[in-house]
Amino acid sequence: QVQLQQWGAGLLKPSETLSLTCAVFDGSFSGYYWSWLRQPPGKGLEWIGEINHRGSTNYNPSLKSRVAMSTDTSKNQFSLKLNSVTAADTAVYYCARVFRPTWYFDLWGRGTLVTVSS
Amino acid sequence: QSVLTQPPSVSAAPGQKVTISCSGSSSNIGNNFVSWYQQLPGTAPTLLIYDNNKRPSGIPDRFSGSKSGTSATLGITGLQTGDEADYYCGTWDSSLSAVVFGGGTKLTVL
């Protein structure tokens, strides 16, 4: 059964860069799009963007200027970088598998709480 | 403010039926497929419904989805206390070029 395992720094200072990685276990990496989403404490879900195994990306326009995603196909991993973080970026960040073209997320990581505080 | 509109909360007794609405526009629900997610307290969301009305394997037929025009509905029958969770609708928005979600609905099984 395919599993997603994610990790990264959980505490950042304002202006630093958020960095998270998600590994795909026991399943195909190629042929899918892979997404990052986030959920501020007590709030709803926000889609950050997606990437496929070829490195083709699609970002949420609201975050596009600060986001970069990448893949390491040799390790079946994909990563998120979000620069110039502020307290508004405090959230649980999830990695997920995207089923295109109808845009649903059928597999999710367990989430990583990232707190931005001085 | 979420692009898709959901009621903040719904409630019903065990064994009863409940529906959760998700309202959008022609740029999102009206021309794209809708999915629904269940988020139990302290856990990641899980897929409940995709392509408006399809259930992934392992999801009981107590859960159903429908879409009409620019609105979608999640139905849950035979409510159980284990169904207490937050429920989110989601879809692609062609104008925003982004996946958008509703603000979530908290289901309480009284």
pLDDT tens-digit readout, B33-81: 999 999 999 999 999 999 999 999 999 999 999 999 999 999 999 999 9
Per-residue pLDDT at B12: 96
Query: What whole-number percentage of chain A has pLDDT above 90?
Result: 91
State whether A108 and B33 contact (CB < 8 Å): no
Decide: B80 and B63 in contact? Cβ < 8 Å: no
Per-residue pLDDT at B1: 85
- Cα separation, A71 vs B48, in Å, equals 28
pLDDT band at B11 (very low <50, low <70, confident <90, very high): very high
Residue A67 scores a pLDDT above 90 = yes
Per-residue pLDDT at A35: 98
Residue A77 scores a pLDDT above 90 = yes
Per-residue pLDDT at A27: 80
State whether A45 and B91 contact (CB < 8 Å): no
User: What's the average model confidence in pLDDT over A99-115?
Assistant: 96
Query: What whole-number percentage of chain B has pLDDT above 70?
Result: 100
Q: What are phi and psi of B83, to 5 degrees?
A: -85, -5
Q: Is B16 on the interface with A (CB under 8 A)?
A: no
User: What's the average model confidence in pLDDT over A100-115?
Assistant: 96
Per-residue pLDDT at A1: 85
Nearest CA-CA partner of B20 in B39, B40, B42, B36: B36
Per-residue pLDDT at B57: 95
Is the pLDDT higher at A14 or at A100?
A: A14
Cα torsion A12, A54, B93, A97 to 10°: value is -70
Mean pLDDT (chain B) is 97
Q: Is B45 on the interface with A (CB under 8 A)?
A: yes
Decide: B97 and B3 in contact? Cβ < 8 Å: no
Q: Is A93 on the interface with B (CB under 8 A)?
A: no
pLDDT band at B89 (very low <50, low <70, confident <90, very high): very high
Q: Which of B46, B98, B101 sits opposite A61 (nearest CB)?
A: B98
Q: Is B33 on the interface with A (CB under 8 A)?
A: yes
- Cα separation, A95 vs A49, in Å, equals 10
Per-residue pLDDT at B4: 98
Residue A28 scores a pLDDT above 90 = no
Decide: A53 and A97 in contact? Cβ < 8 Å: no
Per-residue pLDDT at A26: 84
State whether A105 and B97 contact (CB < 8 Å): no
Residue A37 scores a pLDDT above 90 = yes
- Cα separation, B59 vs B68, in Å, equals 22
Q: How many CB pairs under 8 A join A and B?
A: 63
User: What's the average model confidence in pLDDT over A74-101?
Assistant: 96
Q: How far is B66 from chain A (nearest CA, A)?
A: 15
Query: What whole-number percentage of chain A has pLDDT above 70?
Result: 100
Q: List b or e across B26-55, with b for residues whose CB sees 16 or more CB atoms inside 10 angstroms.
A: ebbbeebbbbbbbbeeeebbbbbbbebeeb
